[in-house]
Structure 1
């Protein structure tokens, strides 16, 4: 649902009821991931998409019906129709499991609050029950900062604290995912399947070295949704004018800046200086941090010499194995722009544990899955 946060936030602010259709499970090569939503208001206005066009008409009519009947949440399944490519089905060959429910913002103010946080670019998560007992189907809980709020329908449920904990964990990871909560007498008496929608802060890309390659990589990183920082110790090169696509340009020694900034498991560190006096102290620190990617530019000879220097300063072989060097995938890249694509392709492949090989050489699916209080109360 967070893919259409802007419109849903406005509808919640206006207390306008709407039907929400959400992809809660995907099999095969479906066009859009779980958590993607389409919504329809009482005037028939629609926003969003769940299939890139394949089944939108059928889902729209189902949304209209649930709004008109004020009915209970319903599940719908859409798959490929071999007999008629124009029938309601996914021509890409995948299968979608969709939950359609009526949402009244007046009874779920926490949902509007979570959408507001998302629109403002702050982290938030919404946990939505997508499988379980009928009385809980479609119930939601929002995690806002260090607190959480739930629907009244969940107020008496022992499972709510467990839902909140799992939603908070997914928010820290920055990943929308479906999680199972299973039949624990104390924390989750009934098995549930919960879809956790997350809107995390943008992952960081730290680029060290104020070069033409850094300028191209900052453009590519920004395009992919990263918060981009370019850092170099030379003030004549590290200027905002040279890097208009970077969110910030820092003049400092690379290792000193890295030691004082914040990183997490989604952070990508790209070392483009290929100068030992910068690289060695920087990589010594970077390889000891819990980040998602560390890559360093240079020839194979430079790489071998760099490894020797890192060993000399005490970096263990296990840590050296985390270093992507020479940086990037083998695309035959020559120009700064081509190299930026090579680097970002490697970052994407690593984040999804993908091979980086041509899809034509692979088999299988293209897309892979790499306590409660009343509505008015908050828990820290």
Structure 2
């Protein structure tokens, strides 16, 4: 749906009613991926596509029916259908399509409108909608990059918080797909206790649609440790840039997994490149002439993470030099140095895992401690814990296991 956000946002602004069909799962040789959408407004105007043409007619009819009846439904199209050659996918694939009417009084209209407005403006946003069980279709949750959300899935605050946490993780990586939600309970809008699972015991299936460029990882220092970190960063879904002032080391041949290799003084590159609240900066140069200028700038930027490699003695010398350069105590406290978690890492590959683990823990609010024997939640609700802490709450309630993320291929 967010792939046609600009047109849909215009329809919302004009007060038009429409139904949107969104691909929520694919199998085999399907022509479009999850998130592809087709929308039909009340006068019959169509925008977008869900299959490149082979099932558009049938989806169009389902959207018209949704506009008349106001119902939300998931329909499967595939080569295995009896009428495969009539409305199925002749390519042999299978697609599941969620049909959602967006009428003036639709409960999901507000959340969808907010997400469409953000996506149309080029901002990062995510939408969560349940695709199973059938009885809970029709609601929507709009999730922002900081984890805050609006709207509801209609089954209580506990489910909304769990869904928002999973959706934020997928938004961070710019991914679209399905998440299974298990366990937990909360209150619905009427104050009644509701479970976060279908009465049959089956998990709820949440479709998360993200609209955001991948987060950036900028690695300063074209060293062996950087090569390993680049590979791990790419695996985690970052768009990775390597920057070093030495052209003999900063080459694409040495860093084939990097999206970009830049030959420039680190601080000068950081001055001109775009960063945001999801960007992570890893300084591996291990030389004061490179480290200090780039860190003095990095610690003043609104980025997610700043780490620097070096021994504890190197860190002490670096901290002194940064203080002399005008970096204050509060800014210096943001620096993760020595970089990484204590895993006993020795090799570049092990060190890369150590750094990546610290980045994930910092982003998700983890402690880095072993889970064995711990009583803390496995999946932490950072937004909720921050709110509880600021309000001096006595307890945040029992931990929730959450569900495993299953991204549709």
Query: Structure 1 length normalisation: TM-score?
Result: 0.56
C-alpha distance in 2, partners of 1:32/1:91?
Answer: 13
Partner in structure 1 of residue 103 of structure 2? 104
Verify: 1:319 aligned to 2:318, yes or no: no
CA gap of 1:156–1:83, structure 2 versus 1, over 3 A, is closer
Offset, 1:54: 1.1
C-alpha distance in 2, partners of 1:29/1:252?
Answer: 46
Counting matched residue pairs gives 266
C-alpha distance in 2, partners of 1:133/1:81?
Answer: 22
Q: Where in structure 2 are the equivalents of 1:1-380 lying within 5 Å? A: 1-67=1-67, 69-80=68-79, 86-104=85-103, 107=106, 108-134=109-135, 136-146=136-146, 147-151=148-152, 154=154, 156=156, 158-185=158-185, 188-190=196-198, 191-204=203-216, 233=245, 251-253=264-266, 257=270, 316-319=346-349, 369=408
SS of the aligned residue for 1:87 comes to helix
**Do the aligned residues in 1 keep the contact of 2:181 with 2:197 (CA within 8 Å)?**
no
CA gap of 1:15–1:32, structure 2 versus 1, over 3 A, is same
- Computed over aligned residues only, the root mean square deviation of the Cα atoms, in angstroms, reads 4.9
C-alpha distance in 2, partners of 1:194/1:257?
Answer: 38
Write the deviation string for residues 326-357 of structure 1: whole angstroms up to 9, x where unpaired.
xxxxxxxxxxxxxxxxxxxxxxxxxxxxxxxx
Write the deviation string for residues 295-316 of structure 1: whole angstroms up to 9, x where unpaired.
xxxxxxxxxxxxxxxxxxxx94
Structure 1 unmatched runs, 5+: 210-225, 235-245, 270-276, 282-289, 291-314, 324-367, 371-380
**Do the aligned residues in 1 keep the contact of 2:128 with 2:141 (CA within 8 Å)?**
yes
**Do the aligned residues in 2 keep the contact of 1:15 with 1:106 (CA within 8 Å)?**
no
C-alpha distance in 2, partners of 1:156/1:199?
Answer: 25
C-alpha distance in 2, partners of 1:149/1:10?
Answer: 21
CA gap of 1:84–1:178, structure 2 versus 1, over 3 A, is closer
SS of the aligned residue for 1:72 comes to coil
CA gap of 1:81–1:130, structure 2 versus 1, over 3 A, is closer
Structure 2 unmatched runs, 5+: 187-194, 222-237, 247-258, 292-304, 306-344, 354-406
Partner in structure 1 of residue 232 of structure 2? none
Offset, 1:109: 2.0
CA gap of 1:321–1:84, structure 2 versus 1, over 3 A, is farther
Partner in structure 2 of residue 215 of structure 1? none
Partner in structure 2 of residue 219 of structure 1? none
SS of the aligned residue for 1:154 comes to coil
CA gap of 1:133–1:320, structure 2 versus 1, over 3 A, is closer
CA gap of 1:82–1:132, structure 2 versus 1, over 3 A, is closer
**Do the aligned residues in 1 keep the contact of 2:20 with 2:40 (CA within 8 Å)?**
yes
Query: Structure 2 length normalisation: TM-score?
Result: 0.52
C-alpha distance in 2, partners of 1:161/1:228?
Answer: 30
Offset, 1:169: 1.9
Offset, 1:5: 0.7
SS of the aligned residue for 1:3 comes to helix
C-alpha distance in 2, partners of 1:266/1:29?
Answer: 35
Q: Which has the higher contact order (CA 8 A, sep 6+)?
A: 1
